[in-house]
Structure 1
Amino acid sequence: MDLDKLAIENFRKYLRIPTVQPNVNYEPAVSFLETLARDLDLPIRIYQYHPDNPIVLISWIGTEPELPSILLNSHMDMVPVNKTKWKYDPFGAEMDEYGNIHGRGAQDCKSVGMLYVEAIRRLKQSKVQLRRTVHVLFVPDEEVGGTRGMKALTVTEDFRKLNVGFAIDEGFPDEGNKFLISYAEKIVRQFVINCEGTSGHGSLLLQNTAGEKLASVLTAIYNLRKVQKEKLAKNTSLGLGNIIAINLTKIEGGLSSNIIPLKFSLTFDCRLPPDADIDEFDGTVSRLCQEAGSGITVEFLSERPPTSLFTTLDDSNRYWVAFKQVITDLGIPFETWIYSATTDGTHLRKSGTPTIGFVPFRNTPFKKHAENEFLNARTFLEGIDVYTKLLPALANV
């Protein structure tokens, strides 16, 4: 059997299943994963704590299953696509002449789930036995916060019974020649600023309009953003995980081209460093709104988030010691960092599970959530090879 060919074929099959947010139909993906589990002769369980949001668990039982297990996580859902901006069909999994496999989810994160499965296939065919059980988890809902997926799972008795000692979740590819390994994640703080003012005929120069207030708010927020960009540019030791990232993601308002709107609403996506003072940030946003004029209010889109948790990466973490040794032996440089976005790793760490974010993808342009997302076949196969070495090291700790 040509294992490389089979792995790429399965990866492409998975990409062709359009599990796109919102209103995802997960049934085809679950059926595909059930087929893979049967092929590997591995037990599979389906949990469902919210309707139409299945959680798939494939387990490779160790020789000493009472030991804390290893959990490998990925998510089934994907962000939407604008097909007019894609060179290839985003659900066609087409491979070009350079070996690049194109499709939504190629990096985020259907490739990750297939790395786990295909590495286990190779280890089983080589008659490898592991002490600890390895659980491969495929969750829904990650792209919209994980409330109906990982967050729901980690508070259950089902999760407690998995006895997870160490987890790996998705990570960032590196455009250079190193691996990126995250030990913490940024805090999501999204908010809406509402600007209300005088409405009337579009031919007039009315005072105190919502549009003028919108301009003042944008100027203030983007000045804050500029300071963060300058901080990043001046200090090469800082990464995106160490600064505040803030972006306007949506503008709503207006009834007609000839009516001055009564209200504009601006939605911002903001990510704070894990050690940020959330109260201080909230106060800064509120102050900027007050300074921009009357009739401006801010609404935070979620409850005050908890401070992000860190996974210890030193000799006290025996799983990290094993992980680090494998990467060192491979001769591949690596960097530990704070993940600049947010994943289900946040929910795992909150549950008390030591978790790192990692994908063995180097020399790879970052295409998560972007048009023309792709992953090179050679990179994918290298990732499988890395996991065939990582899993025995972690599971035999």
Structure 2
Amino acid sequence: MAEPSPPPPPVQRFIEYLRIKTVQPEPDYAACEAFLRRQAAELGLEVQSHAFVAGKPVVVLTWVGTEPALPSIILNSHTDVVPVSEEFWTHPPFDAARVATEDGDFKIIARGTQDMKIVGHCYLEAVRVLQGRGARLRRTLHLVYVPDEETGGHDGMRHFVQSDMFQALNAGFALDEGMANPEAELRVFYGERAPCWVRFVAHGNTGHGSQFIEDTAAEKLVPIINHLMELRGEQLSLFRTPHADGSRRTLGDVTTVNLTMLQAGVQHNVVPESASVCFDIRISPTLDYVRFRRDLEALAAAHGATLEMVQFWNDNTMTPTDASNPFWVAFEGAVGAMGIPLFKEIFPAATDARYLRKAGVPALGVTPLRNAPILLHDHNEFVKESEVLDGIKFYVGVISAIADA
């Protein structure tokens, strides 16, 4: 059998990017920055890099527009990827194996293909195509590559949006990651749920397990657990109920509540002096997060427990998706011109776009993968070669539209 033809140059560069082991907890950010600097040099892009936390650089590649005084466009992506369990992979996760498929396409199998190196790579390749056409865009583009999104963005994007470096970009609009869709629509995320990780701790009387000991730690936690599980049930029921227009609800429309840790005791016959329970709550931006936090605090106080906010995001800004937002109008028009149907929703988890929205920069989350399985953080994560090439075409159209809006 004849050897398959080599991948086209854009795919070869994608494979090179995937082979850089930017895997948590010890990402090779130095090699990643070197790769990005080489791409920038080939494209004549300006480069800035700053590590707000040692060893975790934010790298910004800039293509200056013809009207640089206009608010600029940020094309954001993160360079880190989540850990792997190599024993469950059919190919080494950082080899970026190119495997032929029955339909004549190729799978590129590697950690980070979907989440989210395809997006950051397609930004670069779209700029390469536009420059090859001699295009000049009105607005300046900033291709931003941030570290540590997979661990919360606390050392990267959080510091970046508070910096003079960020303010100097004069950003007016941003694109960031979204999610693949197994169906035909392009999923577009205009907001996201706020992570709220809480831990309730109670202390009480202890003693021998054969007695009726009153005022125990566990007794104090039970009504708290019941209250939050009732909220879970209410939100699950809402999730299963269509909107008034008959359309289905998504996870972003509701607040999820999950009991994730329950800790107490040292032995069967000893009533524990202390007990704790942890919940992973994701607050829909349709909910008043200030009131919700106060309700949690009141719940703890009412039952003699303490509340620790392990993580709490205090913003529910959403990006307008109507005629009031010229960037949305340009984006929607560009996607429509490609014949791609849109499905707007709130992102169910958290991305670095939340930092941008909180900083006053409207952001949309988009990953141009349709009719594709959702594989982020999964074993054998892959994208098809055709999807990479289609993604480049997608961003050529979208970037042209929003940068000239």
TM category, shorter = 0.7 to 0.9
Match of 1:352 among 347, 360, 375: 360
| CA–CA separation in structure 2 for the residues paired with 1:93 and 1:199 | 56
Is residue 2:383 matched to residue 1:375?
Answer: yes
Q: Which amino acid aligns with 1:55?
A: V
CA spacing shift, 1:3–1:34, aligned 2, 3 Å? farther
Deviations 1:221-274 (A, max 9, x none): 444323222211122542211100123444556668998765554432211111
Mapping of residues 272-291 of structure 1, within 5 Å: 272-285=283-296
Q: Secondary structure at the match of 2:99?
A: coil
2:393 maps to which residue?
Answer: 385
Deviations 1:26-66 (A, max 9, x none): 11111111122122232211122221220001111222222
1:68 maps to which residue?
Answer: 71
Q: Is the Cα contact below 8 Å between 2:81 and 2:115 reproduced in 1?
A: yes
Count of aligned pairs: 392
Q: Which amino acid aligns with 1:101?
A: I
Superposition RMSD in Å? 3.0
Match of 1:299 among 301, 308, 326: 308
Q: Which amino acid aligns with 2:63?
A: W
Q: Which amino acid aligns with 1:9?
A: Q
CA spacing shift, 1:287–1:51, aligned 2, 3 Å? same
Q: Is the Cα contact below 8 Å between 2:140 and 2:403 reproduced in 1?
A: yes
2:163 maps to which residue?
Answer: 156
Q: Secondary structure at the match of 1:343?
A: coil
Q: State which drifts further: 121-130 or 169-178.
A: 121-130
Q: Which amino acid aligns with 2:253?
A: N
Q: Secondary structure at the match of 1:360?
A: coil
Q: State which drifts further: 349-358 or 12-21.
A: 12-21
Shift of 1:152: 1.1
Q: Is the Cα contact below 8 Å between 1:25 and 1:52 reproduced in 2?
A: no
Q: Which amino acid aligns with 2:399?
A: L
Q: Which amino acid aligns with 2:344?
A: T
Q: Which amino acid aligns with 1:58?
A: L
Q: State which drifts further: 128-137 or 85-94.
A: 85-94
2:100 maps to which residue?
Answer: 97
Is residue 2:2 matched to residue 1:32?
Answer: no
Q: Is the Cα contact below 8 Å between 1:44 and 1:59 reproduced in 2?
A: yes
| CA–CA separation in structure 2 for the residues paired with 1:51 and 1:256 | 44
Shift of 1:194: 3.0
Report the identity percentage.
36
Q: Which amino acid aligns with 2:123?
A: Y
Q: Which amino acid aligns with 2:357?
A: R
1:342 maps to which residue?
Answer: 350
Is residue 2:176 matched to residue 1:169?
Answer: yes
2:238 maps to which residue?
Answer: 231
CA spacing shift, 1:269–1:82, aligned 2, 3 Å? farther
| CA–CA separation in structure 2 for the residues paired with 1:371 and 1:207 | 49
What TM-score results when the alignment is normalised by the length of structure 1? 0.87
Q: Secondary structure at the match of 2:114?
A: coil
CA spacing shift, 1:82–1:313, aligned 2, 3 Å? same
Q: Is the Cα contact below 8 Å between 2:78 and 2:145 reproduced in 1?
A: yes
CA spacing shift, 1:182–1:24, aligned 2, 3 Å? same
Q: Which amino acid aligns with 1:371?
A: H
Stretches of structure 2 lacking an aligned partner (at least 5 in a row): none
| CA–CA separation in structure 1 for the residues paired with 2:379 and 2:221 | 29
Q: State which drifts further: 23-32 or 175-184.
A: 23-32
Q: State which drifts further: 305-314 or 15-24.
A: 15-24
Deviations 1:168-195 (A, max 9, x none): 1111221100111122221121112335
Q: Secondary structure at the match of 2:40?
A: helix
Q: Which amino acid aligns with 2:353?
A: G
Shift of 1:214: 7.1
| CA–CA separation in structure 1 for the residues paired with 2:207 and 2:23 | 41
| CA–CA separation in structure 2 for the residues paired with 1:86 and 1:218 | 38
Q: Is the Cα contact below 8 Å between 1:72 and 1:134 reproduced in 2?
A: yes
Mapping of residues 1-397 of structure 1, within 5 Å: 5-98=8-101, 99-194=106-201, 220-236=227-243, 237=247, 238-250=249-261, 263-285=274-296, 296-302=305-311, 305-397=313-405
Q: Is the Cα contact below 8 Å between 2:206 and 2:213 reproduced in 1?
A: no
Q: Is the Cα contact below 8 Å between 1:4 and 1:381 reproduced in 2?
A: no
CA spacing shift, 1:251–1:371, aligned 2, 3 Å? farther
| CA–CA separation in structure 2 for the residues paired with 1:265 and 1:327 | 49
Q: State which drifts further: 125-134 or 2-11.
A: 2-11
What TM-score results when the alignment is normalised by the length of structure 2? 0.85
Shift of 1:307: 3.1
Deviations 1:279-318 (A, max 9, x none): 4433554566678x76x54311146x43311222222322
Q: Secondary structure at the match of 2:155?
A: coil
Q: Secondary structure at the match of 1:108?
A: helix
| CA–CA separation in structure 1 for the residues paired with 2:33 and 2:263 | 37
Q: State which drifts further: 208-217 or 338-347.
A: 208-217
CA spacing shift, 1:261–1:71, aligned 2, 3 Å? same
Shift of 1:114: 0.4
Q: Secondary structure at the match of 1:107?
A: helix
CA spacing shift, 1:71–1:204, aligned 2, 3 Å? same
Q: Secondary structure at the match of 2:56?
A: coil
